[in-house]
Structures are given as C-alpha cells and as structure tokens.
Structure 1
Amino acid sequence: MKMKGTIGPHEGKEFELMRNGQKNIALFFSDYEFPECFIPYIKSGIFRLKEVLILPSPEFDFTAQIVYKPEAEKEANLLAELIKIREFIPENERKIGLLLGYSEEDVDFYVSEALRRIEK
C-alpha cells in the first residue's frame, strides 16, 4: 500500500504561516541566512528566539535558531532538546515534524521515506 503524504518544506513560508497563526514554531540552521523579516517581531516580543548549539567546532559552530510564539515556549524547549540528538530516531522525527506544524500524514510519510532510504 502506497502511503499518502508529501515531503514539502515550509522554507520561505514560515513567516507568513506564523504571522497568520497557522504555525507556532519555525526552525532555521546556521548554514543558511536567518530571515530578517522575523527580527522586528522578535524585538517587539511577538515572537521569541532561542539559539541552540548543535555541533561546536573551532571553525564554525553549527547552531539552530528556533523562532516561536510566547505561548509555544514549552514546545520550543522540547524541540531544542530533540534537535540536539544527532541520530535518526523515528519517534523523535515524528515529534519534530509535528512541533514544526506539519500534518501527521506528512510526518509519517517523511519518516517512512527516510527509513526506506536508510534500509537500502
């Protein structure tokens, strides 16, 4: 049976999704430029920013930036802990996907596709 779902990023859409109330948390990594459109909202307190050190290095610390609505602080803290785990654990990946606002169907599809690739 073929699973339904999509593997589609929210990249480039996070700001609008958060501003419109469709998403509570966005995740960015230091290997890409942080979207400046969030900065005025962070400065005003509408959104908050949490920086997480993922992988320290003498040349370049790999970090994550979690932007979240104040009412989603507990979920943002959970996301921060989950992304520090640097191995593929299906249950953690499911939690991360759901915290980032993806549907259960899309998260399950992503996890099953990732597992299929790992098992090859």
Structure 2
Amino acid sequence: MNQANPSIGPHEGIELKLMLDGKKNLALFYSDYEIPNEFHKYIENKELFLNKFQFQTKFKNLFIDFFIISKIGNDENIFKLSNLIKRSIEESEFNPEIERSIGRLLGYQEVDIEHFIHQKMGRRENKKYYFFYPYGFVAQGLCNKAGLQAPVSIRP
C-alpha cells in the first residue's frame, strides 16, 4: 500500500509470491478459508512449513483452527503469532498493541497497520460495527460460523 492511500486488506492472491520473494515470512489462514492449492506443493517439498493451532472461542463449543505457514520450520515468530491471536480472541476489549504486533508479523506496512487500527477503533465506538472479537478477520469468521449477520469488516 502507499502512504497517500493507506488501506489494509488480505494479501490474497499474492501471498505465496510475497513469501517466495522473501517479502513475507508468515501466512495465516483459518477455519473458514482453506489454504490455497498453490501452497501445497511447497509444503510437501518442505520449502514452506505448515503449523496448525486451535483456539476455543467465547461461543459455546466453537473452535477455530489457525494455519500458519512459514518459511522456516521452527521460526519463533510462528509461536509469537499464535500467542497473539489467542490473546486477541481472549481480550474483552480491542487491543491496538496486539493488533500492531499481529500486523507486523504478517508483513503489513506500518502505515497500513495504523490505518486498520484507526478504522477499527472508529467502528468500535460506533455500536453498529461492534465485533465480538477485536480482530476483524476472526470476528467475520466467527459470526459466519455462529449464524450471525456480521457487518462488513476489514481483514488484514
């Protein structure tokens, strides 16, 4: 993204290229979004590594599977990211510091992370956009699984 028009959205469609070009070390997918097929060959050849984490949500009997793909098999950032996601799910309030750390680990530019946080905080104040979980992409998936109508969200 550029400084004049910051935004945040998924690296969808270019994530593998960013990883192979060395511009992104971690990719994140979760229960509602399958790992794109183009990743499988690299995982099978051990050029990329797949790690799965499952977290319980605040919804009764609802779990989310998170898949973190990394360039290094035992990258300490895999566990940092999984712990941050868990904290994000457990937090009762939106925590910008957790979200900044998640965004950085996922390879987003600072200007885009700040844009996401400012938009998220503005939506948080407007009850119409209240999410059950602080992180937009998690909230959207949870609302879908729970059969709730979720507002349009910003997904990193």
Aligned equivalent of 2:25: 24
Show the 5 A alignment for 1:84-103.
Answer: 84-85=86-87, 86=89, 87=91, 88-103=94-109
Helix, strand or coil at the partner of 2:17: helix
Q: Residues 48 and 73 of structure 2 are in contact (CA less than 8 Å); yes or no, is this contact kept in structure 1?
A: no
- Note closer, same or farther for the CA distance 1:9–1:105 as it changes in structure 2 (3 Å cut): same
Helix, strand or coil at the partner of 1:12: coil
Task: Provide the rounded CA distance (Å) in 1 between the counterparts of 2:73 and 2:56.
Answer: 28
- Return 5+ residue gaps in structure 2 as ranges: 127-156
The size of the alignment, in residue pairs, is 118
Q: How far is the alpha carbon of 1:17 from its aligned partner?
A: 0.9
Task: Provide the rounded CA distance (Å) in 1 between the counterparts of 2:103 and 2:74.
Answer: 15
Aligned equivalent of 1:76: 78
Q: Residues 49 and 73 of structure 2 are in contact (CA less than 8 Å); yes or no, is this contact kept in structure 1?
A: no
Identity fraction in percent? 39
TM-score by length of 1: 0.86
Mapped pair 1:107 → 2:113: yes
Task: Provide the rounded CA distance (Å) in 1 between the counterparts of 2:85 and 2:112.
Answer: 19
Q: Residues 55 and 63 of structure 1 are in contact (CA less than 8 Å); yes or no, is this contact kept in structure 2?
A: no
- Return 5+ residue gaps in structure 1 as ranges: none
Cα displacement string for residues 17-55 of structure 1 (whole angstroms, at most 9, x for unaligned residues): 111111110000111222121112112221111101022
